[in-house]
Structure 1
């Protein structure tokens, strides 16, 4: 987990943040995407988000235009081969599903006949990107993870262990739990406005292991390895958690502003389909499927005109001027009676102050993300769209409704 950057300006942010949630009535009606088709045939590999982007400027508004067919067994599900049609009802765009040729999906099973889907419905988003994050507890709510059992060594004097290797783990004395997860503690996730406030403790999923023998140390066998097991990795009981994959994209609750805390996989620039951690969780009423707009801006930037950088005329600089010696970033503020050094022969010396001419960059929409897994104070989210490289610290806010 890379170190979080905090080079963000708080002066004047209250007014800028207010601008993130200003909503003008009747301005944000559902708008079609440029070149939206009148019909679209769903293909294998499509996602609901991709299809929504074919029709709508804001894909998260899909539920506002989708008219499901109540005669189907799963009226809200879309399958490869379905044809979607764009029409207008009372001046508003509506997307419906055309009647499939050959009637409903029917599979004949002797001696009964019943209707079933012969192909899986398309997912909301690309599940292969977030699959490793759906069932593994990558954020610990407290620092208890560091007090859990840990890998202390290996039977064959290896430096690391991999798939099917045995590992020694301190203090597992009961056979009540057979299956364990191996985690590597990471850096604490702290609030941007209060570095002393810990929101959770990041942990990297290393693998799964099965108990072979209790004791101190106990012996476990690695059954799944996302990376090499190292001495010091923590071992906790595995959770029988079912992955939540049926997301319903919808706007995040009003007023739920936050920040991107971290990005997974050790990258610095954040783009489409990257997984990030945001500083809002279940206690903020955040649920899987909630969509946020990502805003870039809020940083203090140098005013190059006021500081003289943009209009410097170096041919006219004189040795008698401040800028000749110190550059245009500094200005003369007066004389000091305090000598520069104890043995200075001059009673006074000039003082210069660095120019503070700057401006705060306005917030601009830069992409969208969707939450797919929540904890109490933080959540995992997938970047669905990015119009520029996003960064740790970028603000998030509910999209306009």
Structure 2
């Protein structure tokens, strides 16, 4: 039996992910080709567009890319837009990956991962979906921590700046006196940090335990991303004279002082349906959003991962065995009642032992513990 110790959740993340998932589900199901498409091509070399009254990402994609169905590509370059349906006059919409710096690459690899559409090379095809969070068997390895900020508010968001400490310098001297060593997070030395390096901001929000109460997995929410804007020098002993400064480039949720950094991993996944190479049975063990029941557009976690043959883009069918009405009798369900297919899930992210999936179809409410089946060749 799986048990989950819940941390926190915010309405902002739920709304943003729900909006994204709704658009993605339409793409999975297919959209009528009878919809009008704008074919006006981009004029000039501008790498951004200022939103005017009546603009939509659908129309802008048709104007600049020649294909309105490329709106997920445009959205992937604009992490500051949490819902593609909500853009307002005066907003900046970047047209290329390197325009606003929000389509972040891993440190030292920004150029290699930049979109090359401007050079005539095609963009990866698929659905662009924010990951939001994940479950891992082992704790993630933190490399930094947000120590302070000049902002006179508790919460940090996009465009705010903060000061970050790395490794042993991730806690101030005052914090080291106030917080016992065993209560502090273990933070590794990331090596030489350079201006332009990017990191993800994460927070552990819960754990999964087995029947014996042993922690078997850790649940993390990705809050956003930061880029290093100023690097401090070192003293004679090689210690930082000051904290390095970072700028928040993405914020899926509110970020606080004390939140932790890990090496950057792009959170806007390019997901393309792929055929399974094996049969597999799994189950839903948790959800990204709080609650025990969920449906379409929800993000869930599965108890199978790469070690079990699961790959990004695979699909699982959800099954339930249930009686349509409550009989008022406290007894287990008759095992002769057959399984009923009640939904379908698309795998977005795969770790070694766990996966994150999006519910793309549900005939009734799904619940934690539901049976999932993946079929070879589908």
Say whether residues 1:204 and 2:204 are aligned partners.
no
- Displacement, 1:282? 0.7
Distance 2:146 2:32 in 1: 46
Say whether residues 1:253 and 2:260 are aligned partners.
no
Query: Which position in structure 1 is the counterpart of 2:265?
Result: 239
- Displacement, 1:149? 1.8
Query: Which position in structure 2 is the counterpart of 1:187?
Result: 206
Say whether residues 1:396 and 2:372 are aligned partners.
yes
3-state secondary structure, aligned to 2:366? coil
Query: Which position in structure 2 is the counterpart of 1:271?
Result: 295
Distance 1:4 1:181 in 2: 24
- Displacement, 1:392? 1.3
Distance 1:49 1:132 in 2: 12
Given candidates 117, 139, 142, the residue that maps to 2:138 is: 142
Query: How many residues align structurally?
Result: 249
Say whether residues 1:153 and 2:178 are aligned partners.
no
C-alpha distance 248-157 of structure 1, shift in aligned 2 (>3 A): closer
Distance 1:144 1:281 in 2: 17
C-alpha distance 359-179 of structure 1, shift in aligned 2 (>3 A): closer
Say whether residues 1:224 and 2:250 are aligned partners.
yes
Distance 2:264 2:364 in 1: 38
Distance 1:253 1:229 in 2: 40
Distance 1:303 1:267 in 2: 25
C-alpha RMSD over aligned residues? 4.4
C-alpha distance 121-359 of structure 1, shift in aligned 2 (>3 A): closer
C-alpha distance 167-385 of structure 1, shift in aligned 2 (>3 A): same
C-alpha distance 302-138 of structure 1, shift in aligned 2 (>3 A): closer
- Displacement, 1:148? 3.5
- Displacement, 1:244? 2.6
Deviations 1:177-209 (A, max 9, x none): 62221111121245x67763624x221121221
Q: TM-score, normalised by structure 1?
A: 0.50
Query: Which position in structure 2 is the counterpart of 1:49?
Result: 28
C-alpha distance 396-122 of structure 1, shift in aligned 2 (>3 A): farther
C-alpha distance 381-144 of structure 1, shift in aligned 2 (>3 A): closer
C-alpha distance 194-272 of structure 1, shift in aligned 2 (>3 A): farther
C-alpha distance 242-195 of structure 1, shift in aligned 2 (>3 A): same
User: In proportion to residue count, which structure has more helix?
Assistant: 2
Query: Which position in structure 2 is the counterpart of 1:133?
Result: 130
Query: Which position in structure 2 is the counterpart of 1:163?
Result: 158
Query: Which position in structure 2 is the counterpart of 1:4?
Result: 4
Q: TM-score, normalised by structure 2?
A: 0.53
Decide whether the 8 Å contact of 1:251 with 1:292 is kept in 2. Answer: no
Q: Which runs of 5+ in 2 are unaligned?
A: 6-22, 42-64, 77-82, 85-126, 168-190, 233-239
Decide whether the 8 Å contact of 1:259 with 1:279 is kept in 2. Answer: yes
Distance 1:295 1:195 in 2: 28
Query: Which position in structure 1 is the counterpart of 2:121?
Result: none
Query: Which position in structure 1 is the counterpart of 2:360?
Result: 384
Decide whether the 8 Å contact of 2:199 with 2:262 is kept in 1. Answer: yes
Say whether residues 1:294 and 2:315 are aligned partners.
no
- Displacement, 1:235? 1.2
3-state secondary structure, aligned to 2:369? coil
Distance 1:395 1:164 in 2: 43
